[in-house]
Amino acid sequence: ADRLGVSVLLKGNVTVIAEPGAGPVHLNVAGNAWAATAGSGDGLSGVIGALLASGLSPGEAAAAAAFVHARAAGLSALDPGPSPA
């Protein structure tokens, strides 16, 4: 984050959000294996984009979106719905 001067989000079971400069490093430990599924980052990036459009800073948007993404993953893991045919 410092070297490139950008906010960085590393998605995984523990999602890491780093901001350039003296900004804090945020850890979101609420994730699970579902959040690490291929394609789930599309939803995460959509939430980040919506939060950026609403005026949040990149670091705040990434941290809030990571929380929402992990919460959605947790709820989906409780009831994955019907199996594909």
Task: Note down the domain range covering 47.
Answer: 8-78
Residue 54 lies in a domain: yes
pLDDT at 58 (0 to 100): 92
Residue 84 lies in a domain: no
Q: What sign for the dihedral angle of Cα 37, 12, 32, 67?
A: negative
Q: How far is the C-alpha of 44 from the C-alpha of 28, rounded, in Å?
A: 13
24-80 pLDDT, tens per residue?
788 888 766 666 667 777 889 999 999 999 999 999 999 999 999 888 888 877 886
Residue 78 phi, psi (nearest 5) = -70, -35
Residue 1 lies in a domain: no
Residue 29 lies in a domain: yes
Domain count, the chain: 1
The first and second tokens of residue 29, run together, are 């430990």
Strand partners, 28: 15
pLDDT at 42 (0 to 100): 84
